[in-house]
Amino acid sequence: MNAPTPALVARPERLRLVGQKRKVLALMHQRLMFGLLVYGFVISVIVIRLVYLAAFGDHAGRKVGAISLTPERGDIVDRDGQALARTIDAWTIGLQPSKVIGDKLDLARKLAELMPEKDAAQYHAMLVSKRSFYYLRRRASPKVVAAINALGEPGLALEREPDRLYPQTSLAAHVLGWTDVDGNGTAGIERAFNDRLADPAQRGTPLQLSISSRIQQALEHELLAAKQEFSAIGAAGIIMDIHTGELLAMTSLPQLNPNVAGQGADEARFNRATLGVYELGSTFKPFTVAMAMDLGHIKSMGQMYNCPQQLHVAGRTINDTHPYGRACSVAEIMKESSNIGTAQIAQQIGPRTKRLSSRRWASCRRSKSS
């Protein structure tokens, strides 16, 4: 019988090497799995921490987070494309009392110097309170932001948020309206088209008005000059295109800066052109004369009426500021806005004829519109 070939004989050294290799691979596999478990645990802890901070951290319930997620409002432009309202990034200054590391009394004094709307005692009360967050100032100026940042206090939070800017300041302020600190329209076009301006799908398309900045500026200039000349408490004016019905300008005085609308007086925020109620008074007189001419009672502006010092009608006495005390023409009645002369013309028309004439005018307007 032949002896076995040496190459086919199992060697103990080779078997030991194979066994050691398998052990090393098993150990490496165990270490790799352990490392993956540790990595997965760390990632899970980070995710859980982020979720916790979002739900219960210092930013929970704060409007800053909501504002940062709110889409910017669309622009408002005039009929020529000139910007009347735009959205820019502004600064918000907040306070997180639990993160303040410096001397709170000293910090309160510095805050009172930089933002004097509150005194040092009020700031100190905020610093020692248990609340997680305070707003110190919205829409802060770059100068104040730089000064707050220079304090180096981690408890003072600086954040960016959208802010509404009206580059023409008071121009067409009552037409445009303004927004509150949260960016919602509270008056004028900003309120009427709030959904349209806040719609992300419409952000790239500005809202174009029929207002012309040039005509608006001319109207405001003339009204302001007249208000100052006659020492009036207010003024209002509207310019309309009679062919299209478009408003080319509308203003109300006193003027208002919508960039700081909250600092304006109630009288300045009141739009006299749309909200004011006025007694028309003598403006009815041309309508009365026109009605009498239309009905054939007045043949010419030279037609004469008796205009005494006083006129007694139905137990009442009608007077004139500048009484004629004689016969006067229709032209003179219109010139001096004579109450006595106009009353006689109205008597000549009569109440029944007035109603019929009003219906006739309404019928004419309907026929023209159709």
Domain ranges (residues) in the chain: 67-82+168-275, 90-162, 281-369
Give the Cα separation of 53 and 125 in Å (integer): 25
Q: What is the pLDDT of residues 305-322, one digit of tens each?
A: 988 999 888 888 999 888
Average pLDDT over residues 212-234: 95
Percent of all residues in the chain with a pLDDT value above 70, rounded to a whole number = 85
CB 129 within 8 A of CB 175: no
Radius of gyration over every alpha carbon of the chain, rounded to an integer in angstroms: 40
SS3 category, 359: helix
CB-count exposure of residue 223 (10 Å: 0-12, 13-18, 19+): buried
Per-residue DSSP letter, 185? B
Q: Which CATH class is domain 281-369?
A: alpha beta
Tell whether the model's pLDDT for residue 74 goes beyond 50: yes
Among candidate residues 17, 13, 10, 190, the one with its CA nearest the CA of residue 87 = 190
Which token pair is 91?
A: 């600064």
E-strand stretches of the chain: 76-77, 83-95, 134-140, 156-165, 207-208, 235-240, 247-253, 304-307, 310-313, 316-319, 326-329
Any idea which residue has 């009036």 for tokens? 232
Tell whether the model's pLDDT for residue 362 goes beyond 70: no
Q: How are beta strands 316-319 and 247-253 bridged, if at all?
A: unpaired
CB 207 within 8 A of CB 74: yes
Among candidate residues 362, 368, 360, the one with its CA nearest the CA of residue 296 = 360
The residues, any chain, with a CB within 8 Å of residue 280's CB and separated by 6 or more, are: none
Angle (deg, nearest 10), helices 351-369 and 339-349: 80
Please indicate whether residue 282 is annotated as part of the active site.
yes
CB 243 within 8 A of CB 275: no
Residue 257: phi and psi, rounded to 5, are -100, 105
Average pLDDT, the chain: 84
Choosing among 3.60.15.10, 3.40.50.2300, 3.90.1310.10, 2.40.110.10, the CATH entry for 90-162 is 3.90.1310.10
The residues, any chain, with a CB within 8 Å of residue 144's CB and separated by 6 or more, are: 93, 114, 115, 137
pLDDT of residue 64: 40
Average pLDDT over residues 34-45: 86
> In angstroms, how far is CA 39 from the centroid of its own chain?
50
Tell whether the model's pLDDT for residue 36 goes beyond 80: yes
pLDDT of residue 265: 83
Residue among 282, 300, 367, 370 flagged as catalytic: 282
pLDDT of residue 142: 84
HSE (CB half, 13 Å, CA atoms) of 18? 6
Q: Is the dihedral of CA 171, 175, 180, 184 positive or negative?
A: negative
Percent of all residues in the chain with a pLDDT value above 90, rounded to a whole number = 44
| Helical segments of 178-283, H only | 188-192, 194-198, 213-229, 266-269
pLDDT of residue 51: 78
**Quick one: pLDDT band at residue 4, thresholds 50, 70, 90?**
low
